[in-house]
Chains A and B, each alone.
Chain A
Amino acid sequence: MDGVAQWFLWLHQAHGANFTIFYDAFDSARFLRGIGTTIRLAVVSIVASILVGILGAWLQSHPSRTVRWPVTTYIQFFRNTPPLVQMYFFYFALGPALGTALGSSTPPLGNFAWAVIALSFYGAAFNIEIFRAGLEAVPRATLEAAESMGLSPRQVFLHVVFPLALRFSLPALTSNVINLAKTTSLAYAIAVPETLFVANQIWSDSINVLEMMVSLLIVYNLMVGVIVAAAHWLERRLRMPGYIQ
């Protein structure tokens, strides 16, 4: 037993603060697995929501109304309904229906996959608007200047519009990514063994609600801290002197 474990064992015996996750091998293993699941859930959902967001923003800039209309409906639907009910709808309603449609007796997708799908669609609804706002923030004069330099539409997009729009949308994107990372805790409701779920198991077994609650809040705050640090690093890397602060 190492020093940290001994110290927490002492803390438990001397003061009653029972942080089992630091000295009990079983509890610490499942807590770490829970954090791992949360991280996987967050990373996959964030990447997927950004991809769907880019696709949606591209479709929304389409001249045809029949293309734009479904995208707008999707955005308004997912932005104005509770994310928990969306997750229930995906897992409890669409899940069995997909199984019936495919004619399989076992469900084709597990709860982790449905959680990823629900979270990605929820996050993407916000990302589309963020990317669209970024694209619209590129000044017309800049586009005209690029055109008058003789760049083709493709070159204008790749070398002028995209780099600027990315920088414009970065702050709003960061806050949405943080929000999505926190929303992964909703997967608790469909029994995905993420951090909150395993914490609940641990406090039910070891009767240490307060200690687990403190650990849980620290874990989530650290996770948000890492995302904020990464976003700041990216912002500094992408900084264009004299253009955007």
Chain B
Amino acid sequence: MKDFGRIPAWGVAAVGVGAVLFISVAHAMATAATDQLGIWQQVWGWTPLILFGPPGVLGGMTLNILISFLAMVIGTMTGVLLGILQLAPAQIVRRTAWGMTQFFRNSPWLVLLFFAMLLLPFELRFGGLRVPVPDWLKATLGLALPVMANLSEVTRGAIRSIPEGQWESCEALGLTRFQTYSRVILPQCVKRMMPPWMNWYALLTMATPLVSIVGVSDAVALTRDALAASGRSDLLIPMYLWLLLWFGLYCYPIALWTQRMERRFAVIS
């Protein structure tokens, strides 16, 4: 007790204040930790919905990827054709193809998406048969338009980079224009077109969230629905970051692969 008496009063006070501070900080941290856990559980709980959509319904990130595949297929087929037409012998064909390419290249993705959503029919009629066109399919066609225009430019550039001698040899061999393209020119273009083609695929995938604006239940629309349903403002930042992360996980490897390919195919001049 004697020793205790030597401890000054401010020391006791300091220890007391310290203890109170420690306990309150620990308590705050523990609460925060359970809150953090709560947030993480919430985010994790909504993840299946965001990635795969409601059970039995096409939606979520799966739909984003499906739209990106389909739009890329349509955009590539029409784009390559348009690119070839940009180099057609007839001037009127050349000019028209050039004009279409520039027009769709210079228009914003979102405007073209509205264009397709509002001006394409909601059902097709084959005689008496009525086939409804789902919204997501119209959105896919809308997203295919800018892809088409940009791949048209990529194709034109690739074809023009093939040395003139290739064309002259084909002519000397008596190949038709179709044979020249399909057997000689286009196969050589594939390698050169690969890196920009993949780059456009990544850009297209990052444009698919636009469909949420026109009412398609993709990953972004479902994330917003989930946020509205949970009604928690502390979920806003984690949920949007989580969504960004999923898109990043899909697109970043494509970007890395494209870069590697670009280096490998680099033409050493």
Contacts and interface: CB of A to CB of B under 8 A. Distances in A.
A88 B224 CA distance: 10
Interface stretch (A29-37, A89-97, A148-156, A230-238): A89-97
Interface string A155-193: 000000000000000000000001000111110110000
A55 interface: no
Contacts, number: 103
Nearest to B112: A217
Contacts of A96: 233, 236
Given A82-B206, A183-B108, A186-B110, A213 B115 contact: yes
B108 A196 contact: yes
Nearest to A184: B108
Contacts of A81: 206, 244, 247-248, 251
Nearest to A100: B233
A154 B196 CA distance: 38
B103 interface: yes
Given A81-B247, A82-B247, A88 B119 contact: no
A240 to B, nearest CB: 21
A167 B207 CA distance: 31
B269 interface: no
Contact of B237 (A97, A189, A210): A97
Given A213-B119, A221-B103, A196 B206 contact: no
B268 to A, nearest CB: 16
Given A80-B255, A81-B244, A93-B237, 14 more contacts: A80-B247, A81-B247, A82-B206, A82-B207, A85-B243, A89-B241, A93-B240, A178-B106, A182-B108, A182-B109, A184-B108, A209-B119, A217-B107, A221-B103
Interface of B: 102-103, 106-111, 114-115, 118-119, 202, 206-210, 212-213, 220, 224, 227, 233, 236-237, 239-241, 243-244, 247-248, 251-252, 255
Q: Which 3 A-B pairs have the closest CB atoms?
A: A224-B106, A93-B236, A185-B108
